[in-house]
Structure 1
Amino acid sequence: MLKNVAAALLLAASLPAMAQGPVQPAAPATPPKLIVAISVDQFSADLFSEYRQYYTGGLRRLTEQGVVFPRGYQGHAATETCPGHSTILTGSRPARTGIIANSWFDLNAARADKLVYCAEDETQPGSSSADYQASPVHLRVPTLGGRMKAANPATRVVSVAGKDRAAIMMGGPTADQVWWLGGPQGYVSYKGVATPPLVAKVNEVMAQRLAQPNPGFELPPQCAAKDFPVKAGSITVGTGRFAREAGDYKGFRVSPEQDAMTLAFAAAAIEAMALGRQAQTDIISIGLSATDYIGHAYGTEGTESCIQVDRLDRELGAFFDRLDKDGLDYVVMLTADHGGHDLPERHRLNAMPMEQRVDKALTPKALSAAIAEKTGISGKRLIWGDGPAGDLYFDKGLTAAQRTKVEAATLALLRAHPQVQTVFTRAEIAATPSPSGPPESWSLIEEARASFDPQRSGDLLLLLKPRVMSIPEAAVMGYVATHGSPWDTDRRVPILFWRKGLVHFEQPLGVETADILPTLAALIGLPVPKDQIDGRCLDLIAGDGDSCAN
């Protein structure tokens, strides 16, 4: 079996994509045997549509033969990786999942940094937001796999990703196997189980590939116009091909090679575990992280991102071909945890001179110092935050009078700043009803309410204006671009469904990623109480008929 798995690993990551024909047999009336749920980290609706005409592989199959919602939304304001992944297979917004950000502050915590990572168990001795034991303990709702397993314990639930938070938030606490890329040693798990032979073989193949240099990828014709250098601080981007030396793990991780390896792992897991070959429906979630790493490191509009989308399309095509060869009856769902915004320096070169980086004065440390000077309250850090946008927390050691003074001064300073769109207090957000109706029509405070948790959210929520990048300098984190804003560049994502025989149609109106769980649950006849989720079932049958009627 392992010999076959090794062959599957090599094949899934290297087969050329094959064009898919337009004619398919009718979709079966029976439930699919395998759900394949794919999240492409930072694959914005803009990025999806920009290259749509060039797809020849897996993305072409999904867009030409599947059901396409090009205007999907991660409806909430906190458009980060962990909250986004928490919505995809739970049917719930972050306000319900409890995953309000990648990290939040617990000012009652004993540890000095007070920062809690979304996928850590901070109760473990010595845990910190940077050095932790990964865990799903903060996820407050079940995933689709968890609901399937509760209904039928024979269901196998597997989650594989490039990041721990992607694997954990999509797999959930009751998944049979959860794996993510843990470093040069390969894929690791929070389950604490001995590495099974399958994963040992995957890691062996990865080590072999990492030990070989990569001369880089050829530049596809559609990327030629993007091939010019852009300087952001001390960093120059825009002309990369992902060449790396042997053993360069960072170069491997921030490249199309990572996604190829993750898809190869998923294909091998499906084959080795015989997923989709028993009486029940199984589910595998796949988190592809390279698009996000590349978007941060190089931006979304250079040769690097263009090559990545081309390679993603090819690798998905090879992956789907492998599943077809094995004769599986499977349904695919593909979406993203959030969108992304290109670096201001390239935008300014391309007709957007108003693009800018955030003022350092808005960073929490600088803001705290300014408020201390204005209020005369010294000797402590008045304001805690994880960056120059998002949740801000007032120090717990303030008296009621001091807190009132600090809040008033902070609101006055922020609301007068030219880069600030608005600042909401926790009382204003808490008093706002949960949003309803089309996600494209939500107000900013409704977006904020969708990712508000009274136990974890801050005292203030700072939202920057459009076209203000929340990284002050490109060299600060080694990143040139990011996401996390309440604007559509970061909220909008594609949502795609495919199954052999499914009649293609496209719905351009807005839907939510929270709609994915009830939609997939309906396909397998799994009842989900409507009061336990935020999403609604999307009818995947073109014309007459209703896939949500089960």
Structure 2
Amino acid sequence: MKQLLFTILCTLYVSLPVFSQTGNKIKKQIPFMTEAPKLVVGIVVDQMRYDYLTRFYSQFGEGGFKRLMNDGFQCANNHFNYIPTYTGPGHASVFTGTTPQNHGIISNYWYNKFEKQQVYCAGDPSVAVIGSDSEAEKMSPHRMKTTTFADQNRLHTQMRGKSVGIAIKDRGAILPAGHAANAAYWFRGKEEGNWITTSYYLNKLPKWVSNFNTSRKVDTYLKTWNSLYDLKTYIQSGPDDSPYENGYKGKNKPTFPYDLAKLKDENEGYDIIKYTPYGNSLTADFAIAALKGEDLGTDAITDVLTVSFSSTDYVGHNFGVNSKEIQDTYLRLDKDLGRLLNALDKQVGKGKYTLFLTADHGAVHVPGYLKSQKIPAGYFNADSLKTDIVNFTKQKFGLDNLIEEVDNDQVFFDYDRIATSNIATTTIEDAIAEFLLKKDKINKVFTRSQLESTEYVNGIASLIQNGYHQKRSGDVIFVMDPATIAYPTKGSTHGSGLNYDTHVPLLFYGKGINKGKTYKKTHIIDIAPTISAMLGIAFPSGATGYVLPFVFTIE
């Protein structure tokens, strides 16, 4: 009954005859699904390289990744088309269908030259925390400038279609769900171990969330983490005792097993669960509870559920992409995906929901390991870079304070100081660019003037430009050598525009989705327009991606 008017209009539309320019009757063309899915589920796996699908395929069960790959549609050459490849920009780009150039989430944290301080992509001091006493959890999507497809679905359905976001990380829950979301929930670890939100969405936690927290399901994951299968079968990853892994405080070696209850107090309390595959299991538990608690997918109005599995990122940073721990994490995630799919089948109905799975970025092999295999890689010491640039500009121009900040591989100028110096901004840009290019391990440099006056259509320059926000980004941007990171010598990270960071899975599954696979190059920003086209709703306000027509069938 909720969508009676929409159904009538659809019926009238598809019943009308269609004529060619010559007046001959031709086959009816239906521009969108006449019966929309009851639920769209957008899954993001944090720090998932594409090759994890192929590396670990033989050990996956039939109900998780394999189900999506074999019964859905796989875009096997899917990439991010901007720099930097971080969590905040990644989640925003997947769901807005555009890059940081438009949605404004240029990093997880960035220097705000108007506030003269570093800001967090989801931080919002104007809201109150609901479900925790921590002042550190004040969050909302207010820094994201464009809408998500979930927002457009809310508008299209007169706010009757729900939008709910879930993730261990706040930004992984908040940015995908959009501005008009009914709710976004994330995990507060430390001494609490609860799922929380803010007053941006709700004045109090719904009963189902309070019940979930009260159940202390989280405590069941403070157990021993051992490998799911015999470690001898984990031949797709390196040795368990590796010099390229961090591990946990309180344990001498980064090797299985890990007694989490014993290690909890030395590793930020409940936060230790984030750094294990059990963080993903807890996320799946909460997402399954949300299906019932939020009554998702139970009527004719399309709802949207976004789920981000964050613990893969924590494990990758801690142990590296070639570790036994990362392999075990994905084998366990495979089972959690299966549980979530089964819950969707039960509540929404098999064939009545549409789902996609992708990632917010990939990750690089630990450079120390690559170097041991004679592959070019390295580390960049960024600690003294600001001092070096400040000293250089002082010597070059005889003035102090021309540089306000160096952050996220960007140099920010002090415009007020430059205005009184009688030195052209372009002169300073060119001088710093030349200075940086002489630095060891810096590969490329771009200036604001270049990015604002030239349209780059390919290569690293294009990725930089797509990630460059005119108002929020800096004045000089530099790019390090391949597999070179400003990071500790253990564990993996990400952020570049190279394939190890940009090439991520893209799987579509469920109602309206073809079975198949393509090696055509697709981009992360194509997801939101494709889902919008399927639903027959307006595209997100800043969307620049393309519809992938080979993915879906119109019924």
- CA 1:367 to 1:519, structure 2 compared with 1: closer, same or farther past 3 Å? same
TM-score (norm 2): 0.82
Identity %: 25
Is the counterpart of residue 116 in structure 1 residue 119 in structure 2? yes
Offset at 1:228?
Answer: 3.6
Offset at 1:481?
Answer: 2.3
Map of 2:314 onto structure 1: 293
Where structure 2 has 5 or more consecutive residues not aligned to the other structure, the ranges are 1-32, 129-134
Is the counterpart of residue 88 in structure 1 residue 105 in structure 2? no
Is the counterpart of residue 68 in structure 1 residue 70 in structure 2? no
| Distance in 1 separating the partners of 2:501 and 2:453 | 25
Is the counterpart of residue 485 in structure 1 residue 496 in structure 2? yes
CA contact (8 A) 1:41 1:292 kept: yes
CA contact (8 A) 1:219 1:303 kept: no
Offset at 1:449?
Answer: 1.2
Amino acid at match of 2:327: C
Map of 2:435 onto structure 1: 413
Offset at 1:244?
Answer: 1.1
- Within 5 A, what are the aligned runs for 1:204-283? 204-206=214-216, 208-209=218-219, 212-220=222-230, 221-224=232-235, 226-232=238-244, 239-245=255-261, 247=264, 248-283=269-304
- Within 5 A, what are the aligned runs for 1:350-361? 351-360=373-382
Map of 1:438 onto structure 2: none
Offset at 1:278?
Answer: 0.9
Map of 2:483 onto structure 1: 467
Is the counterpart of residue 139 in structure 1 residue 144 in structure 2? yes
- CA 1:397 to 1:278, structure 2 compared with 1: closer, same or farther past 3 Å? same
Is the counterpart of residue 197 in structure 1 residue 207 in structure 2? yes
Aligned length: 495
Rg larger for: 2
Map of 1:340 onto structure 2: 363
Amino acid at match of 1:81: T
Amino acid at match of 1:45: Y
Map of 2:17 onto structure 1: none
| Distance in 1 separating the partners of 2:50 and 2:136 | 33
CA contact (8 A) 1:238 1:303 kept: no
TM-score (norm 1): 0.83
Map of 1:445 onto structure 2: 461
- CA 1:192 to 1:275, structure 2 compared with 1: closer, same or farther past 3 Å? closer
| Distance in 1 separating the partners of 2:520 and 2:142 | 35
Bigger mean CA offset, 58-67 vs 243-252: 243-252
Offset at 1:348?
Answer: 2.8
Amino acid at match of 2:118: L
Deviations 1:22-71 (A, max 9, x none): xxxxxx97321111100001112133332233321310101111100121
Map of 1:22 onto structure 2: none
CA contact (8 A) 2:69 2:507 kept: yes
Deviations 1:466-517 (A, max 9, x none): 121221x33xxxx632101111111111110011684421101210111111
Map of 2:36 onto structure 1: 31
Map of 1:394 onto structure 2: 413
Give the superposed CA RMSD.
2.8
Is the counterpart of residue 168 in structure 1 residue 174 in structure 2? yes
Is the counterpart of residue 315 in structure 1 residue 320 in structure 2? no
CA contact (8 A) 1:227 1:238 kept: no
CA contact (8 A) 2:320 2:365 kept: yes
Offset at 1:240?
Answer: 4.4
Query: Which SS does the other structure have where 1:493 is aligned?
Result: coil
Query: Which SS does the other structure have where 1:453 is aligned?
Result: coil
- CA 1:234 to 1:413, structure 2 compared with 1: closer, same or farther past 3 Å? farther
CA contact (8 A) 1:66 1:498 kept: yes
Query: Which SS does the other structure have where 2:91 is aligned?
Result: helix
| Distance in 1 separating the partners of 2:233 and 2:467 | 37
- CA 1:528 to 1:234, structure 2 compared with 1: closer, same or farther past 3 Å? closer
Amino acid at match of 1:358: F
